[in-house]
Amino acid sequence: MKMVAPWTRFYSNSCCLCCHVRTGTILLGVWYLILNAVVLLILLSALADPDHYHFSSSELGGDFEFMDDANMCIAIAISVLMILICAMATYGAYKQRAAWIIPFFCYQIFDFALNTLVAVTVLVYPNSIQEYIRQLPPDFPYKDDIMSVNPTCLVLIILLFISIILAFKGYLISCVWNCYRYINGRNSSDVLVYVTSNDTTVLLPPYDDATVNSATKEPPPPPEDHFTR
């Protein structure tokens, strides 16, 4: 009986909408690429015309600036880095290069860990939600309605919302991981195998080539009759 690792049972070549994991990873990389490109355009527009995106302290309800030049440059650098990572993942899934997908997979793990920390913070410090809502600007939409909700119900709603997000992000992580494993398995099947004995070394072709060659090989001729009367 063949032993199977516990984590291999979660391996699948299909993802949402019944498409292949390669197709799903390409679509996911393109989607993240578009989102980060839009964010980069907004940040560049805000940097070029800061008066248009400037918010006074009275509008924000605090004595701080919305975004200074240093934070703007950091946000632009992060957006450019994210565009590069998403482009690498899309190219790696399309060209079947598994190493190019690793940076995007690490970003997904990091993002999942941050969201998990947010959920733990809400669970451990439920009063922090009320404090955060009080610090919002006075004209923030539905601020009074949110403050009127029972704190326990508000915490449960936020935890449910974060749990749905975590489940969705976990599914996307499994999709990218399965794509990485699929590409690795496909590339490893094309490697020639060397079988070495004490006297000789035999070079074996890949399994697919061996099966095709054996199927196309002509059968041997029938043996001749060497007995004479």
pLDDT at 122: 84
Instruction: Provide the pLDDT for residue 63.
Output: 43
Map 58-111 to HEC letters.
Answer: HHHCCCCCCCCHHHHHHHHHHHHHHHHHHHHHHHHHHHCCHHHHHHHHHHHHHH
Provide the 8-state DSSP code for 222: P
Which pLDDT value is given to residue 16? 56
β-strand partners of 195: 202
Instruction: Residue 89: name the closest of 161, 151, 42, 28 by CA.
Output: 28
Note the pLDDT of residue 192.
45
Cβ contacts of 221 within 8 Å, gap of 6 or more: none
- Residue-wise pLDDT for 95-121, tens only, equals 989 899 999 999 999 999 999 998 898
Contacts of residue 76, Cβ cutoff 8 Å, sequence gap at least 6: 40, 43, 44, 47
Distance between alpha carbon 174 and the CA centroid of its chain, in Å? 8
Specify which residues 201 forms β-bridges with. Answer: 196
What is the reported pLDDT for 40?
A: 92
How far apart, in whole angstroms, are the C-alpha atoms of residue 29 and residue 85? 9
Q: Where are the domains of the chain?
A: 21-58+67-95, 97-201
Confidence (pLDDT) at 52 = 64
Predicted structure pTM score: 0.68
pLDDT at residue 144 in the model: 79
Per-residue model confidence (pLDDT) at position 151: 81
Joined tokens for residue 24: 């799903």
The per-residue pLDDT string of the chain (229 residues; one tens digit each, 9 = 90 and over) reads 444 444 444 455 666 556 788 888 999 999 999 999 999 998 888 887 766 655 544 444 444 455 567 788 888 999 999 999 999 999 999 998 989 999 999 999 999 999 999 889 888 887 878 788 887 777 777 777 878 888 888 888 888 999 999 999 999 999 899 989 888 887 775 544 444 444 444 444 554 554 545 555 555 556 555 544 4
